[in-house]
Amino acid sequence: MLNGQGNVRLVPMTAEMYRLFFLEFENDPDVYLPGQKYVRYEYSEEKVAKYAQRQKDLRRITLAILSDEEIVGEIILKNIKPHQCATMSIVLKNAQYKDHGIGTQAEKLAVQYVFHDLDIPALYADTVRTNSRSQHVLEKVGFTLIREDQDFKYYRIDRS
């Protein structure tokens, strides 16, 4: 569907892809708010099915991030207001896939998809204040910090 430089591409997420993604998923300690206790992710078919159904029920667009044909992450486009705006979130399945440019490439592809294929001129994203890695990637892709509160930083990028 969306091909980036090198070996990263985005494709629509399927139920089987979700299963494969969550088999090796690990919660990211960087996304916990200060004072929250880290909880280890426990895989279950039922939990994965409920998660996939929730994305569908909320009319979110879910994209699998593939690197060398392996599912390494997920991009979710949510709060979609056709021809106005949407919000993007990203998660890589575990730390093994961080610091290799995968997230940066995936976010660039998602931004292109939102701007050109969905014809949405503004895209938002947010990140926990303590997640400096995510903030760095958003800024590298072209997002601008628009506000922050006690827990989160909020970003926006516009089609230009």
DSSP character at residue 6: T
Is residue 28 classed as helix, strand or coil in its secondary structure? Answer: coil
Q: What gap in Å lies between CA 123 and CA 143, rounded to an integer?
A: 9
Please tell me the predicted confidence (pLDDT) of residue 95: 85
Name the 3-class secondary structure at 69.
Answer: coil
Question: Residues 138, 144: contact at Cβ < 8 Å?
Answer: no
The pLDDT score that the predictor gives to residue 5 is 56
The pLDDT assigned to 130 comes to: 87
Radius of gyration of the chain (CA): 15
Instruction: Kindly give, in sequence order, each residue whose CB lies less than 8 Å from that of residue 68, ignoring residues fewer than 6 positions away.
Output: 7
The per-residue pLDDT for 2 is: 57
Longest dimension (CA), the chain: 43
What pLDDT is recorded for position 82? 96
CATH of domain 2-158: 3.40.630.30
3-state secondary structure of 40: coil
Asked if residues 97 and 133 have their Cβ atoms less than 8 Å apart, the reply is no
Task: Indicate the domain borders of the chain.
Answer: 2-158
CA 152 from chain centre, in angstroms, equals: 16
Q: Average pLDDT across each block of 10 residues of the chain; the chain has 160 residues. List them in order.
A: 72 95 88 82 95 95 94 97 97 90 95 97 95 94 97 95
DSSP string for residues in 104-150: HHHHHHHHHIIIIIS---EEEEEEETT-HHHHHHHHHHT-EEEEE-S
Q: What is the pLDDT of residue 37?
A: 86
